[in-house]
Each structure stands twice: as C-alpha cells, then as structure tokens.
Amino acid sequence: MSLFKIFDVAGSAMSAQTVRLNVVASNLANADNVSGTEQGAYKAKHPVFKTLLDSAHNGDKSSAGVAVSGIVESTEPAQKRYMPQHPLADTEGYVYLPNINPIEEMVNMISASRSYQSNVEVMNTSKELLLRTLGLGQ
C-alpha cells in the first residue's frame, strides 16, 4: 500500500461529510415551510454512506474510503397543526409542517463538522510525517 493512499481515504471522508453538511443545511432551511397537504410538505433528507474497498492490488483490502450512495427522504409523517386562519390551511383548518427536528439536525451538523475536522487533521499529520521522512535523506 502506498503511503499516499491516506490522502485518498481522508479526502473521500471529507467529501462525504460535505454532502452531509449540505443535506443538514437544506433540512434546517426548510424546517419552517408550511404546506396545505401532507404530500406537499417538505420531507427531511438523509445521506446514505457506503464503504469503498480498494482491491486493485490482487484483492488487498488494506485501504478503504467512503462515498455517498444516495440521499433518501424520511418516511415519518408530516406534522399536522390546526391553524384555520393560515392561507394554506385545508378545508378542516390544518396545515402540514416538515418532519424535521431542528435539535437532531444541529447534532448532525456538529457531528459532520467534527468528522470533517478530524479528517483535515489526519491529512495534515500525514503530510508532516511524509515531509519528515523525505528529510531523513538529507
């Protein structure tokens, strides 16, 4: 395994966490949207990650990475709230809010941010170690 593979692994993780942060931002931006129908209400989205194994060297799975295989919508029902004065209310006086919990989304955002930071540190440490290894020959 090449010493430079760590940059591929950490880079793929940083890319996946960027997608996660974007999905969380989208969920938070739509947390207060209101709809007149349950089908029209915004549904929370979540990224699905998959592991990538490097089998280029005769089945050697010594390095891996991560990728986003897709983004799925939550199956939880929309929140139904009685607001007959709202212009989008249905005939029974209900409006539908997204199935987003802002606290959970903030926790996801913090977790994704910390994971991204950790991968930056992995790359910086690896770079420093490689530079010191190259300096041994001088």
The structure tokens listed for 55 are: 């089998």
Give the model's pLDDT for residue 21. 97
Give the model's pLDDT for residue 23. 97
The structure's pTM equals 0.84
Q: Which amino acid is at 37?
A: T
| Contact by Cβ (8 Å): 44, 73 | yes
Q: What digits encode the pLDDT tens for the residues 76-131?
A: 999 999 999 999 999 999 999 999 999 999 999 999 999 999 999 999 999 999 99
Q: Which amino acid is at 127?
A: K
Give the model's pLDDT for residue 81. 93
Q: What digits encode the pLDDT tens for the residues 56-82?
A: 554 555 568 899 999 999 999 999 999
